[in-house]
Structure 1
Amino acid sequence: MATEKLAAVVRPEYGQHLQQWMAERNLLVHDEALLARLANGADAFFLVTAWRIYQEYGGDKLLNNCPRCGRLARTPRARQCRHCGHRWYEASA
């Protein structure tokens, strides 16, 4: 993301100064494997990473859908829907 932000700088001399500043503080990525995954852009990287986490850590167990409206709750342990207000923690008590 830092590389994309550097590329978006309008005046090149500011971009070079910022890149030098980040390099001095070891804030730039040098890992070739990570850079290869970022080759298709940040959005593609985030989608691939989200899918990998979903697959590695249980997939559907991470998702918590409201039994009434079926929409996604805020967290895997939430028991109240932020969309329709349905509460399903009362039923299990």
Structure 2
Amino acid sequence: MNREYDESAELTHYVWHNYSQLAEDWERHAMRGFAAREKSIAADEPQRRLLAKWSASDDPRVIAALQLPPAEFRRRTAVRIVEDHPNEAIVNRCPQCDRIVRTPAAQQCFWCGHDWHAVSR
């Protein structure tokens, strides 16, 4: 519990961990491109060519996304998912400190330790 709370970072992690299925196809393709770029750093030449082919796209949205830092792309996509899917991508917050908890079903706060299991029974 010594980690600083960063609303934007926590929302991004929460949405990608719990609701990545709501990302659009081109967004998933961009994420594959980021992954291929990361993996190619340590790859030999034949692997680099395969990774480049795997992540290639002529979609202007993917090309533009790959110009962003990966963390910024992930943040923007998480915000879009929450805005575009308010009935599906529900952000679970602690009723005591209002911080984002780990999962949509969580009933205990990692941040303040509040436990609301008994309330739901």
TM-score using structure 2 length: 0.54
> What is the CA deviation profile of residues 8-55 of structure 1, one whole-angstrom value per residue up to 9, with x for unaligned ones?
46xxxx4x43322335xx522314221122222322211211111111
The equivalent of 1:91 in structure 2 is: 119
The equivalent of 1:69 in structure 2 is: 97
The equivalent of 2:56 in structure 1 is: 29
Q: Which SS does the other structure have where 1:69 is aligned? A: coil
**Match for 2:51: what amino acid?**
M
Unpaired stretches in structure 2, ≥5 consecutive residues: 1-33
Aligned residues: 85
Please tell me whether the aligned partners of residues 37 and 51 of structure 2 are also in contact (alpha carbons under 8 angstroms): no
Give the number of the structure with larger relative contact order, counting CA–CA contacts within 8 Å between residues 6 or more apart. 2
* Identity within the alignment, %: 33
Question: What is the CA–CA distance in structure 2 between the aligned matches of 1:5 and 1:91, rounded to whole Å?
Answer: 46
Residue 17 (structure 1) aligned with residue 46 (structure 2): yes
**Match for 1:51: what amino acid?**
V
The equivalent of 2:37 in structure 1 is: 3
**Match for 2:73: what amino acid?**
F
Q: Which has the higher helix share?
A: 2
Unpaired stretches in structure 1, ≥5 consecutive residues: none
Segments of 4+ in structure 1 off by > 6 A?
none
Structure with bigger gyration radius: 1
The equivalent of 2:85 in structure 1 is: 57
TM-score using structure 1 length: 0.66
Question: What is the CA–CA distance in structure 1 between the aligned matches of 2:51 and 2:92, rounded to whole Å?
Answer: 40
